Copies of this chain bind each other. A is one copy, B any other.
């Protein structure tokens, strides 16, 4: 295909760094198609690597490498210079800067081996925590949380909780429903941990309509009714005030952006103490 760019990713681990970089690059070329069907994780033999590079050359592919083994990285480097293969080593430029500065070399062990550390297990625990205390299922989680998210239906509480959990935060969330009384425990949560999510009523109505579509339900429900949404949002505003919540408007924000605002707020509110 004319506008297709074939990308091979080669790694002695999983190759996640290459995927991340490739997705950052590909959004910059909306009219090109990046075909990354060729993912080669756990590469650890020279012959295997050379076969992959030969294929890449035939496919006129760009090769992204996160090989930490310097022997393999050099083989790929030499091969590319000799044949003109478009080859990008993501790690080596960084390794060279560090060597210039400290004289130190990387230990050359595939990254995944080191992942089962304390930070890793904290993250797993945080994810389990967020699932357990999603949707106000158990208000006792509020007291153990780093962050308590409040908001009416479809203000992205659940995916935001999971994203923040993935960064190691213990997060619980509570849906605000005017007809349902708030759990008493909420008043015992430190104010700076409470974050309120709000959204423009029109957007909320649209998101809820899409939601009902995807569930195969019809829209004559008060769930998507603008007047009802105004009421809900007004109620949520009162709750935010009552509990001293830090309020974030999620309209047109991606989860990543909202999470950034949350982290920035936490950092600042901690440094003020």
Interface residues of A (CB under 8 A from B): 3, 5, 13-14, 16-17, 20-21, 24-25, 27-32, 41, 62, 66, 68, 86, 88, 90-91, 93-95, 97-98, 100-102, 104, 106-109, 111-112, 114-116, 120, 124-125, 127-128, 131, 134-135, 156, 158-159, 162, 165-166, 214, 252, 254-257, 260
CA distance A108 to B94 in the complex (A): 24
**Contact at B127–A158, with CB atoms within 8 Å?**
yes
**Contact at B14–A66, with CB atoms within 8 Å?**
no
**Contact at A124–B156, with CB atoms within 8 Å?**
yes
A28 proximity list for chain B (CB < 8 A) = 68, 91, 95, 106-109, 111
Q: Pull 5 A–B residue pairs with CB atoms less than 8 Å apart, ordered by A.
A: A5-B102, A21-B21, A27-B114, A29-B106, A62-B94
- In the complex, how many angstroms separate the beta carbon of A143 from the nearest chain B beta carbon? 14
**Contact at A254–B104, with CB atoms within 8 Å?**
no
Q: A115-B256, A162-B127 are in contact. Are A20 and B30 (CB under 8 A)?
A: no
**Contact at B112–A257, with CB atoms within 8 Å?**
yes
Residue among A27, A31, A98, A112 having the largest count of chain B Cβ atoms under 10 Å: A27
**Contact at B159–A260, with CB atoms within 8 Å?**
no
A165 proximity list for chain B (CB < 8 A) = 162
- In the complex, how many angstroms separate the beta carbon of A261 from the nearest chain B beta carbon? 11
**Contact at A128–B98, with CB atoms within 8 Å?**
no
- In the complex, how many angstroms separate the beta carbon of A195 from the nearest chain B beta carbon? 18
CA distance A18 to B95 in the complex (A): 15
Residue from B30, B88, B109, B214 in contact with A94 in the complex, judged by beta carbons closer than 8 Å? B88
A104 proximity list for chain B (CB < 8 A) = 29, 31-32
A102 proximity list for chain B (CB < 8 A) = 3, 5, 32
